[in-house]
Amino acid sequence: MQDSGLVRRVDDLGRLVIPKELRKTLRIKSGDAIQISKDGDNLLLRKYSPTQGIMATVQSVADSIFESTGKTCMITDTDRVICSSNKNSGEEKCLLNAYAMKVMNDRKPVFISKNQGEIPFIYTGENIEQINSRIIFPYVKDGDCFGLIVLSGENVSNTEQEKSILTFGASLLSKCI
């Protein structure tokens, strides 16, 4: 654990202010849920992700989409890639970029192919050389977007079958959250 050297006082109501620079670095926005836990004498604060409790389901959805389509499937929460059907890719825990955040804010699926221009990165440093097309599908519950299902490959074609599979995956994840 990295010591930031910052000291803050707890007010009369038990509130603690998280410094702006830490909030920015950790992507904590007003209204975000923070998980609080105790580890010995330490108090741990962690940005809460509803997908933390359903990781086996999330991985099963990614694997099932891959088995059904033959295309690479990544699933994100609101901050990072949390699993991939390509388990050796090193994508897990990569922070999402502004384009991915925009798709989440818009809450609408996006289909992109190289015929339309450049394939956008989902996270900084992503290798997109082998990707000719991609569908980015938000999963939403009660109006809140909890992440993205990203289907990528050489020939993602935005067929009704692929849309149905992604719709089902997003629906399943939304119900489990």
pLDDT tens digits, 70-111: 999 999 999 999 999 987 777 777 889 999 999 999 999 999
From residue 150, give the alpha-carbon distance in Å to each of 21, 66, 127, 165, 168: 30, 11, 14, 12, 13
How far is residue 145's CA from residue 107's CA, in Å, rounded to a whole number?
A: 7
CB within 8 A of 38, min separation 6: which ones? 44
pLDDT for residue 28? 86
Please state the domain extents for the chain. Answer: 1-48, 51-176
Average per-residue pLDDT in the chain?
89
Report pLDDT digits (tens) over 105-122. Answer: 999 999 998 888 888 888
Percent of the chain with pLDDT over 90: 53
Report pLDDT digits (tens) over 29-62. Answer: 888 888 899 999 988 888 888 888 899 999 999 9
pLDDT for residue 66? 95
For the whole prediction, is pTM greater than 0.85?
no
- What CATH class does 51-176 carry? alpha beta
CB within 8 A of 28, min separation 6: which ones? 18, 22, 34, 47
Helix axes 160-176, 55-69, angle to 10 degrees: 170
Identify the top-confidence range among 19-33, 62-76, 150-164. Answer: 62-76
Q: For residue 143, is pLDDT > 70?
A: yes
Residue with tokens 């604060």: 45
* Other Cβ atoms within 10 Å of 123 Cβ, number: 18
- CATH fold group of domain 1-48: Pemi-like Protein 1; Chain: D (2.10.260)
One-letter amino acid at 13 equals L
Secondary structure (3-state) at 88: coil
